[in-house]
Amino acid sequence: MEIDADAPHSMGTTIIGVTYNGGVVLGADSRTSTGVYVANRASDKITQLTDNVYVCRSGSAADSQIVSDYVRYFLHQHTIQLGQPATVKVAANLVRLLAYNNKNMLQTGLIVGGWDKYEGGKIYGIPLGGTIIEQPFAIGGSGSSYLYGFFDQAWKEGMTKDEAEQLVVKAVSLAIARDGASGGVVRTVIINSEGVTRNFYPGDKLPLWYEELEPQFSLLDIPSSPGPEPMNI
Amino acid sequence: MNMVDSAQPFKTLLGPESDSQRTQYPYVTGTSVVGVKYKDGILMASDMGASYGSTLRYKSVERMKPIGKHSLLGASGEISDFQEILHYLDELILYDNMWDDGNSLGPKEVHSYLTRVMYNRRNKFNPFWNSLVLGGVKNGQKYLGTVSMIGVHFEDSHVATGFGNHLARPILREEWNENMSYEDGVKLLEKCMRVLLYRDRSAVNKIQIAKITEEGVTISRPYALKTFWEFNAFKNPTVGAEGSW
């Protein structure tokens, strides 16, 4: 099959942002594709804007990167001028301005999440078109289609930090199971008054779903045979 | 990678909709808004849904907002454009307040402003992709008008956007009258919203009803309508005609 090396890098993606009692948990898969080829199987789609605000990126890799670069730059200046950390609301509104004013050229959906001392943990969804919408939880990317029903059922207000992170990991993993454009590892970022924690859940640590099998070393099932390792080049 | 098609790469590099002729696509859209005049002022109703294509993506979006002291704006269509229009109106009202001259913009003036904004954007092939309903009361005078994305604007005793024009207005033509009480008006709007819920694919069952009178604006808490499904013809739709629907 012809690989179109010139196809735009698109992050098929599943991205999630969830508020809990004390902060937010952001989650994403790690697959970046050019057409059908997986250009990066371990991307980091949760990008820092400030110490206390992060953004989950979906859609065009280039568009989402440039938007977050600009917003990081503006927020840096804003923080200096303000003399204290920027609020999540300000960060989200800066993202919205770029997304809205360039709506004809950009193809990126973003979820801004963070913690500030005024409002606590907040999540803002900014879909295509540049609408800004504050939500208790947000889902985005191509994989999110498979999660509307899941969240309708599984979401509840006032979860603990661990419950929220487990929900995010389960959800991204379910989306990866069904969305060809999502895959790889699940990355989470937890933001609260105490700071920021990054977590990493490799593919083989995720739960198995319908029709998926437990990976084994070999058909020959020799327990002592080596697992997959980096090549010696 | 084709060496022959040198014209192609340039167009694809530019990305979607980036040439000088614009007119966007709507992405996140709200459906009908319905407004009626009643004895004390204006009543307006809309649901709280915002769709993303065929997905009912957001279900808690307020599509009616107070403007200044005397007006209420309801919008259907692209939500990001509605948010931008609200920014413009914030600025308009702010400047009006800064005159500090005892005057304030009434619904007629706000409607006129919106008409100019919408029509001028249409002339530049870069519309705000919305249909707006503007209602209000000032000095005892009730006002209810509408502006579309191409600048078509008019006033009437009852107005609606989108599907509301086809489903709600015929009901209003039959049952509306000038001297409706608040209760009559609410019941009538609920009847319209129920029909829209049955027949508009983009409707969600979470509505708000807003009232504007000389005293000011009240927007109700969100609530859901009861629906009726117990017709015999619904329970046994294919009796006597197996295979039909």
The H or E element that residue B164 is part of is: helix B163-175
Mean pLDDT rounded to a whole number for chain B: 91
A-B interface: how many C-beta pairs under 8 angstroms?
54
Return phi, psi of residue B165, to 5°.
-60, -40
Q: Is A179 within 8 Å of A12 (Cβ atoms)?
A: yes
Reported as a pLDDT band with limits 50, 70 and 90, residue B6 is: very low
Which segment of A34-43, A44-53, A162-171 scores lowest on mean pLDDT? A34-43
> Maximum Cα–Cα distance for chain B, whole Å?
74
B7 vs B148: CA distance, rounded Å:
38
Asked whether the beta carbons of residue A105 and residue B16 sit closer than 8 angstroms, the reply is yes
> Maximum Cα–Cα distance for chain A, whole Å?
65
Chain A residues closer than 8 Å to B204 by CB: none
pLDDT > 70 in chain B, percent? 91
What's the DSSP call for residue B223?
Answer: B
Report all structural domains of chain B as residue ranges with CATH numbers, in order of start: 26-227 (3.60.20.10)
Mutate to test the interface with B, among A6, A105, A133, A142 (most CBs of B within 10 A): A133
pLDDT of residue A7: 63
Q: Is A189 within 8 Å of A181 (Cβ atoms)?
A: no
Mean pLDDT value of segment A57-74:
96
pLDDT of residue B234: 85
Structure confidence by residue, pLDDT tens digits, B145-200: 999 999 999 999 999 999 999 999 999 999 999 999 999 999 999 999 999 999 99
What's the DSSP call for residue A85?
Answer: P
Q: Which of B24, B26, B55 sits opposite A104 (nearest CB)?
A: B24
Residue with tokens 């017709």: B231
Spell out the residues 6+ positions from residue B186 whose beta carbon is closer than 8 angstroms to its own. B43, B209
Asked whether the beta carbons of residue B80 and residue A107 sit closer than 8 angstroms, the reply is no
A12 vs B176: CA distance, rounded Å:
51
Instruction: Mark whether B23 is an active-site residue.
Output: yes
Chain B residues closer than 8 Å to A5 by CB: 1
B84 vs A14: CA distance, rounded Å:
28
Tell whether B18 lies on the interface with A, counting CB pairs under 8 A: yes
Other residues' Cβ atoms within 10 Å of the Cβ of residue A159: 19
Mean pLDDT value of segment A41-68:
96
Structure tokens at B232: 């015999």
Q: Give the global pTM.
A: 0.87
Structure confidence by residue, pLDDT tens digits, B19-62: 556 778 999 999 999 999 999 999 999 999 999 998 999 999 99
Q: In Å, what is the CA distance from A84 to each residue of A80, A97, A143, A191, A196?
A: 7, 22, 36, 17, 17
pLDDT: is B235 or A195 the higher one?
Answer: A195
pLDDT of residue A205: 81
pLDDT surpasses 70 at B121? yes
What's the DSSP call for residue A84?
Answer: S
Q: Is B27 within 8 Å of A129 (Cβ atoms)?
A: yes
Tell whether B86 lies on the interface with A, counting CB pairs under 8 A: no
Mutate to test the interface with A, among B22, B29, B80, B206 (most CBs of A within 10 A): B80
pLDDT > 90 in chain A, percent? 75
Q: Which of A5, A131, A135 sits opposite B83 (nearest CB)?
A: A131
pLDDT of residue B3: 47
Mean pLDDT value of segment A21-46:
92
Asked whether the beta carbons of residue B78 and residue A5 sit closer than 8 angstroms, the reply is no
The H or E element that residue A197 is part of is: strand A195-201
Interface of A with B (CB under 8 A): 4-6, 96, 100, 103-105, 107, 127-133, 135, 145, 148
Q: Is A113 within 8 Å of A17 (Cβ atoms)?
A: yes
Judged by DSSP in three states, B165 sits in: helix
Q: Is A159 within 8 Å of A152 (Cβ atoms)?
A: no
Bridge partners for A57 per DSSP: A110
pLDDT of residue B7: 42
Tell whether B84 lies on the interface with A, counting CB pairs under 8 A: yes
